């Protein structure tokens, strides 16, 4: 839509218009304010201007790109020679916006007041609600009162038909609540038994929006390119869609949880366990727990079996990155994993960390992520095995997450692109070579684990870590994981190529 405003040419893509309004509407608001006695004396001046300009101008609010993948809502005012022309412009733009069926008009919003730096309520009220109002989006807002409030509300109560999407204001844990609520509800409605790992799950139709207000916010960062509430709100308003893989985690025939970002055993499991005791510290808890667990340097023994992803989905060490509209992130890259059962491979060993990343897990701590070439929606996860090594070598691996160097280019690290994997821990107290699979004795497992943790003098390190599943501790260590291709949809478009921003970025104020 190239039009002239004050002699300057502005080209605004209709799909990126947030709202359009006649200036007269603004003046009427002022008039109402005056009548209700809230205005303080500037009225005379406004009145004079109004008489001259009434109905002759309209303002378009639109998406403007700033640096580092940030979006801002910018405004441009156009003046028209005749009132009728002004009306036609406004009505035509409104009609075009209304015709974009992907835009939400009603949203269900959950705010976690205790996530991250505990700013979620303020962030929503000050930065997001005004934008939704400007775009004419109706909202039903629920401030959560306890953990799993949002999940249970979605499972049992929410009238989902009334909404075009659900939004969480919080971190990865809140996002996980929404995923669990929506996936559960969708499977229940479709008669799917979620306890069977082999079941094909039904994709969720409602999109999820994330307004970042947590501690890691890696799902927002890896799907938008930045953790910024205004940018995320604008992606919701323009009705973006980004499909995403979801991994289901089972223990035998019992469903445990879904994972969208990281499933981590060893280092990241221990970091999470330790950091949960330090929740009062906010996001810094992870750094302190990370340092502590780096110094502790525990390794864990076990067996990993996995089903390689096969051809057509690239490799974890490709130089390419998952970017907006990337061709690999299409449903046609799905492979029937059931036909590939013969391809299972097994690795036994002692590991500092076993990480499965269904997407890059990029976040401010590591802008390229745990697995930089992982894709959001290709039906695979990257399985990263960090074998027992010296502290110095592990530090080299960790440091590479925050530099340009390849964190996988180390002799003790291997990475495989997989569709499924299983893990079984090995008992620390078995002095024979037999693999005692501890999931048979879950109660004893926990007691032994605790003894080892509490009394390292027994000569062996703790036998078991825990799985960090998107920031939640799993109750079992023996797990069976399967990636479900594009099970959910987000209000996002993937990370746009940097060129989009570098060329266009104006001096946006923060």
Ligand X SMILES: Nc1ncnc2c1ncn2[C@@H]1O[C@H](COP(=O)(O)OP(=O)(O)OP(=O)(O)O)[C@@H](O)[C@H]1O
Ligand Y SMILES: CCCCCCCCCCCCC/C=C/[C@@H](O)[C@H](CO)NC(=O)CCCCCCCCCCCCCCC
Task: Spell out where 66-152 has E strands.
Answer: 71-79, 106-111, 138-143
Number of residues that bind ligand X (CB under 6 A): 22
Mind giving me the DSSP string for 231-260?
HHHHHHHTT--EEEEEEEEEETTEEEEEES
Q: Using the rule CB under 6 A, is 226 a contact of ligand X? A: no
Q: Using the rule CB under 6 A, is 268 a contact of ligand Y? A: yes
- Cβ-based nearer residue to ligand X, 201 or 218: 218
What are 347's strand-pairing partners?
A: 304
Mind giving me the DSSP string for 83-97?
HHHHHHHHHHHHHHH
Q: Using the rule CB under 6 A, is 398 a contact of ligand Y? A: yes
- Cβ-based nearer residue to ligand Y, 57 or 296: 296
Q: Which one from 164, 172, 240, 382 is the annotated catalytic residue?
A: 172
Q: Is 366 helix (H, G, I), strand (E, B) or coil?
A: strand
List the interface residues with ligand Y, window 172-231 (CB under 6 A).
172, 216, 218
- Cβ-based nearer residue to ligand Y, 86 or 415: 415
Q: Is 213 helix (H, G, I), strand (E, B) or coil?
A: coil
Q: Using the rule CB under 6 A, is 470 a contact of ligand Y? A: yes
Site string for ligand X, 456-475 (x = CB under 6 A): ---------------x----
Q: Using the rule CB under 6 A, is 363 a contact of ligand Y? A: yes
The region that residue 116 occupies, defined by phi over 0 for left and psi between -120 and 50 for alpha, beta otherwise, is: left
Choose among ligand X, Ca ion, ligand Y, none what residue 299 binds, the Cβ cut-off being 5 to 8 Å by kind.
Answer: none
Q: Using the rule CB under 6 A, is 287 a contact of ligand Y? A: yes
Spatial separation of the C-alpha atoms in residues 205 and 182, rounded to whole Å: 9
Spatial separation of the C-alpha atoms in residues 178 and 117, rounded to whole Å: 20
Choose among ligand X, Ca ion, ligand Y, none what residue 371 binds, the Cβ cut-off being 5 to 8 Å by kind.
Answer: none
Stretch that binds ligand X, among 52-60, 64-72, 138-146, 312-320 (CB under 6 A): 138-146
Report the residue count for the chain. 510
What are 258's strand-pairing partners?
A: 248
Residues 6+ apart with CB under 8 A from 98: none
Q: Using the rule CB under 6 A, is 229 a contact of ligand X? A: no
Choose among ligand Y, Ca ion, ligand X, none what residue 245 binds, the Cβ cut-off being 5 to 8 Å by kind.
Answer: Ca ion
> Which residue's structure tokens are 């909404």?
163
- Cβ-based nearer residue to ligand Y, 104 or 181: 181
Work out which of 23, 172, 240, 480 binds ligand X, going by CB under 6 A.
Answer: 172
Stretch that binds ligand X, among 4-12, 179-187, 210-218, 328-336 (CB under 6 A): 210-218
> Which residue's structure tokens are 């039903």?
140
**Tokens, residue 44:** 């005379």
Work out which of 331, 402, 441, 508 binds ligand Y, going by CB under 6 A.
Answer: 402
* 367, 393, 267, 343 alpha-carbon torsion, rounded to 10°: 90
Q: Using the rule CB under 6 A, is 145 a contact of ligand X? A: yes
Whether residue 448 contacts residue 386, with contact meaning beta carbons closer than 8 Å, is answered with no
**Tokens, residue 408:** 């996988």
Work out which of 116, 225, 290, 316 binds ligand Y, going by CB under 6 A.
Answer: 290
Stretch that binds ligand Y, among 190-198, 230-238, 335-343, 393-401 (CB under 6 A): 393-401
Whether residue 362 contacts residue 226, with contact meaning beta carbons closer than 8 Å, is answered with no
**In the complex, least distance from residue 268 CB atom to ligand Y, rounded to whole angstroms:** 6
Work out which of 231, 247, 333, 366 binds ligand Y, going by CB under 6 A.
Answer: 366
Choose among ligand X, ligand Y, Ca ion, none what residue 116 binds, the Cβ cut-off being 5 to 8 Å by kind.
Answer: ligand X
List residues near Ca ion by CB under 5 A.
Answer: 245, 358, 375, 378
Work out which of 23, 177, 245, 270 binds ligand X, going by CB under 6 A.
Answer: 177
| Cα three-residue angle 308-311-316, rounded to 5 degrees | 65
**In the complex, least distance from residue 140 CB atom to ligand X, rounded to whole angstroms:** 17
Spatial separation of the C-alpha atoms in residues 171 and 436, rounded to whole Å: 38
At 489, which helix (H) or strand (E)?
A: strand 479-490
Assess whether 172 carries a catalytic annotation: yes
Question: In terms of DSSP bridges, do strands 254-259 and 262-266 run parallel, antiparallel, or are they unpaired?
Answer: unpaired
Choose among Ca ion, ligand Y, ligand X, none what residue 115 binds, the Cβ cut-off being 5 to 8 Å by kind.
Answer: ligand X
Mind giving me the DSSP string for 375-416?
-SSSS-EEEEEEES--HHHHHHHHHGGGSSS-TT-STTEEEE
Q: Using the rule CB under 6 A, is 274 a contact of ligand X? A: no
Site string for ligand X, 419-458 (x = CB under 6 A): ----------------------------------------
- Cβ-based nearer residue to ligand Y, 160 or 256: 256
Spatial separation of the C-alpha atoms in residues 392 and 386, rounded to whole Å: 13
Binding-site ranges for ligand Y (CB under 6 A) = 171-172, 216, 218, 261-262, 268, 271-272, 286-287, 290-291, 294, 361, 363, 365-366, 370, 395, 398-399, 401-402, 468, 470-471
Which residues are marked as active site? 172
Binding-site ranges for ligand X (CB under 6 A) = 112-116, 144-149, 170-174, 177, 214-217, 471
């Amino acid at each position: 839509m190239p039009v002239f405003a004050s002699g300057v040419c502005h080209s605004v893509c209709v799909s990126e218009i947030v709202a359009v309004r006649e200036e007269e509407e603004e003046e009427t608001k002022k008039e109402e304010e005056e009548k209700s006695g809230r205005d303080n004396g500037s009225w005379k001046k406004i009145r004079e201007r109004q008489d001259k300009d009434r109905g002759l101008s309209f303002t378009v609010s639109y998406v403007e790109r700033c640096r580092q993948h940030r979006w801002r809502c910018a405004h441009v005012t156009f003046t028209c020679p005749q009132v009728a022309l002004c009306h036609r412009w406004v009505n035509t733009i409104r009609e075009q916006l209304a015709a974009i069926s992907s835009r939400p008009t009603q949203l269900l919003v959950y705010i976690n007041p205790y996530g991250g730096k505990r700013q979620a309520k303020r962030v929503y009220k000050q930065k997001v609600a005004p934008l939704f109002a400007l775009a004419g989006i109706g909202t039903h807002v629920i401030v959560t009162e306890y953990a799993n409030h949002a999940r249970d509300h979605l499972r049992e109560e929410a009238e989902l038909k009334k909404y075009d999407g659900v939004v969480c204001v919080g971190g990865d844990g809140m996002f996980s609540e929404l995923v669990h609520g929506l996936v559960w509800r969708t499977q229940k409605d479709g008669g799917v038994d979620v306890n069977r790992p082999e079941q094909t799950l039904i994709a969720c139709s409602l999109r999820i929006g994330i307004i970042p207000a947590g501690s890691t916010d890696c799902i927002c960062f890896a799907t938008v390119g930045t953790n910024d509430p205004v940018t995320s709100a604008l992606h919701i308003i323009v009705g973006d869609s980004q499909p995403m893989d979801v991994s289901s985690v089972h223990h035998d025939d019992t469903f445990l949880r879904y994972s969208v970002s990281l499933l981590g055993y060893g280092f990241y499991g221990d970091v999470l366990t330790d950091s949960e005791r330090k929740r009062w510290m906010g996001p810094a808890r992870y750094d302190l727990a990370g340092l502590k667990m780096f110094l502790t340097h525990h390794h864990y023994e076990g067996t990993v079996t996995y089903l390689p992803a096969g051809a057509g989905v690239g490799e974890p060490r490709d130089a390419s990155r998952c970017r907006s509209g990337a061709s690999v992130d299409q449903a046609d890259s799905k492979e029937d994993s059931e036909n590939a059962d013969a391809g299972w491979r097994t690795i036994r060993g002692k590991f500092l960390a076993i990480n499965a990343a269904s997407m890059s897990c990029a976040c401010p701590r590591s802008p390229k992520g745990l697995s930089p070439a992982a894709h959001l929606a290709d039906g695979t996860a990257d399985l990263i095995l960090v074998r027992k090594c010296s502290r110095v070598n592990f530090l080299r691996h960790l440091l590479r997450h925050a530099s340009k160097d390849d964190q996988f280019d180390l002799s003790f690290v291997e990475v495989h692109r997989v569709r499924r994997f299983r893990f079984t821990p090995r008992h620390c107290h078995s002095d024979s070579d037999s693999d005692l699979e501890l999931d048979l004795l879950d109660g004893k497992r926990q007691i032994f684990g605790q003894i080892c943790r509490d009394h390292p003098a027994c000569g062996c390190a703790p036998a078991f870590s825990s799985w960090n599943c998107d920031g939640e501790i799993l109750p079992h260590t023996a797990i069976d994981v399967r990636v479900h291709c594009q099970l959910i949809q987000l209000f996002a478009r993937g990370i746009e190529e940097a060129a989009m921003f570098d060329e266009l970025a104006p001096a946006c104020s923060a």
